[in-house]
Structure 1
Amino acid sequence: MEAEMPATARPKNDVIQIRASAETKALFNRAAALRGQKLSEFMLESARHQAEETILDQRLFRLDEDAFGRLIDLLDNPPPPSPEAVARFRRKAPWEA
């Protein structure tokens, strides 16, 4: 029976290439060294983290207590639909006409 490879040990077959200024590369090298990582490890980890944060920003939002209370109130007591919304719902869909 073959053991399954952990996510961190999966083979890396795809190549990502980027161009950067000497100053930017030096900055990345310095940061990687501070973390005890190779430049490629640092770049991949940083880019992956940023990608995950970007995706989560589109799906997750944080509210303070007051804003959360207002949101719950709107969900529990939604305003009546506008006349424009009512008119749109009364119209037949193009595929039903």
Structure 2
Amino acid sequence: MTQATTRDTSINIRAQQSQRELIDRAAALLNKNRTDFILEASCSEAENVLLDQRLFILDEKQFAEFETALQERFSDNKHILQLLEGKTPWDE
């Protein structure tokens, strides 16, 4: 059973009537209310944008920590070893 969470911050947006109707139709098809539909779609897109970053700006301390992390051995991490030793889907 999932625990209900209380939403404690508001997000206010203005939209055209046609946009609201489009969102309402799509939300209804998924048996969701407008708020849930907008939040899920927005958060999903935000995650995609953040995951697609290729340029990272780091200060000297952050860059040093990043380099240290790259140098660390991962031989104790069986999941990474399995990933590296396994076949890729296109090789099967």
* TM bracket (short chain): 0.5 to 0.7
User: What is the percent sequence identity of the aligned residues?
Assistant: 37
Aligned length: 54
Higher fraction of helix: 1
In the alignment, what sits opposite 1:44?
A: 39
Q: Which has the larger radius of gyration?
A: 1
The within-5 A match list for 1:10-89 is 10-58=5-53
Output one character per residue of 1:27-85: Cα deviation in whole Å (capped at 9) or x when no partner: 000000010000000000000000000000115xxxxxxxxxxxxxxxxxxxxxxxxxx
Structure 1 segments of 4 or more deviating over 6 A? Answer: none
1:9 deviates by 2.6
| TM-score in terms of structure 2 length | 0.54
Residue ranges of structure 2 left out of the alignment (5+ in a row) = 55-92
Cα RMSD (Å) of the superposition?
Answer: 2.0
Residue ranges of structure 1 left out of the alignment (5+ in a row) = 1-5, 60-97
| TM-score in terms of structure 1 length | 0.51
* Matching residue's letter, 2:45: Q
Decide whether aligned partners of structure 1 residues 8 and 26 sit closer, same or farther in structure 2, where only a CA change above 3 A counts. Answer: farther
